[in-house]
Amino acid sequence: MGDVKLAMIVQKPQYKGETSRLAITHAISYQTVEILLEDGDTVTPKLCFVGEGVLGIQKGQNAMELYGITSTESHMKNTLLVDLDVLVCKEDLDRYGIPEDAMPDADEMGADKKIQVVPYAEIQKAMEEAKHVLFF
What are residue 24's phi and psi, to 5 degrees?
-70, -45
Q: CB-wise, 9 or 89, nearer to other proteins?
A: 9
CA–centroid distance for 50 within its chain: 10
CB of 61 to other proteins, least distance (A): 21
Candidates 14-22, 74-82, 96-104, 108-116: pick the segment binding other proteins (CB under 8 A): 14-22
Which residue from 7, 13, 15, 33 is in contact with other proteins, where contact means CB under 8 A? 33
CB of 59 to other proteins, least distance (A): 25
* Distance between CA atoms of residues 53 and 98, nearest Å: 12
Contact call for residue 129 and other proteins (CB under 8 A): no
The pairing of strands 42-49 and 85-89 is: parallel
CB of 34 to other proteins, least distance (A): 8
Q: State whether residue 42 is helix, strand or coil.
A: strand
In this structure, which long-range contacts are made by residues 58-64, counting pairs with CB atoms below 8 Å and at least 24 apart in sequence?
A: 58/98, 58/102, 58/103, 58/104, 59/102, 59/103, 59/104, 59/105, 60/102, 63/15
Taking Cα atoms as reference points, which of 113, 51, 117, 56 lies closest to residue 79?
A: 113
Q: CB-wise, 36 or 66, nearer to other proteins?
A: 36
Contact call for residue 35 and other proteins (CB under 8 A): yes
Q: Name residues contacting other proteins, limited to 41-100 (CB under 8 A).
A: 41, 43, 45
Residues that bind other proteins (CB under 8 A): 1, 4, 6, 12, 17-19, 22, 25-26, 29-30, 32-33, 35-37, 41, 43, 45, 132, 134-136
